[in-house]
Amino acid sequence: MEVHGDLPLGGPRRRPQAEGAHQAVRPPARRPGQPDRCRRRRDRGPVPRTVYQLVRQQLLAWQLETDPDVAAERVRVVHVLSPENLAYERSYRAPSVAPLGDDVSQTWQRLLRRPDRFVKLDPAVFLDPAITSEEYVDRYGLGNDG
């Protein structure tokens, strides 16, 4: 193990500062072949919130599938989104993913290794009396502000 001063390389380093001041922590050194964990791509900026939320949801679904304490073989992310919400669907149009789809949902599904784990659902299906109560339809149905 290489040592710099009295600290091993790759370990946390703290700069001496006045007591009570915030201290900066240097991230561990990257091992050969290991990707940078938090490197911000300056040419493309940070990951947009739209994609960030999809990543979080998809990772949670994957964790549930792999958790031995959860009795689920397959977990899907069901994204309930009105077809009228064009602002959302057009919110992420990076040139690098433009060939994959015309909107966020289509692009995201094509990026997934298992595309069947993501489903977009129109909320109008919940207004079907065969699957929900009349009270729900009255409260949330079309034309209600409720």
pLDDT digits (tens, 9 = 90+) for 7-46: 444 444 444 445 544 444 455 565 665 544 444 444 455 5
pTM of the model: 0.57
| 124: its two tokens | 């109008």
| 32: its two tokens | 């050969």
Tokens 């040592």 belong to residue = 3
pLDDT score at 38: 43
Structural domain including 127 reads 49-140
Cβ neighbors of 61 (< 8 A, separation 6 or more) are 75, 76, 77, 117
Q: Identify whether 64 is part of a domain.
A: yes
How many structural domains are present in the chain?
A: 1
Q: Identify whether 57 is part of a domain.
A: yes
Q: Identify whether 63 is part of a domain.
A: yes
Q: Identify whether 26 is part of a domain.
A: no
Q: Identify whether 146 is part of a domain.
A: no
pLDDT score at 119: 93
Q: Identify whether 2 is part of a domain.
A: no
Query: Tens of pLDDT along 86-117?
Result: 998 988 877 877 888 888 999 899 989 999 99
Q: Identify whether 126 is part of a domain.
A: yes
pLDDT score at 143: 62
User: Confidence band (pLDDT; 50, 70, 90) for 1?
Assistant: very low
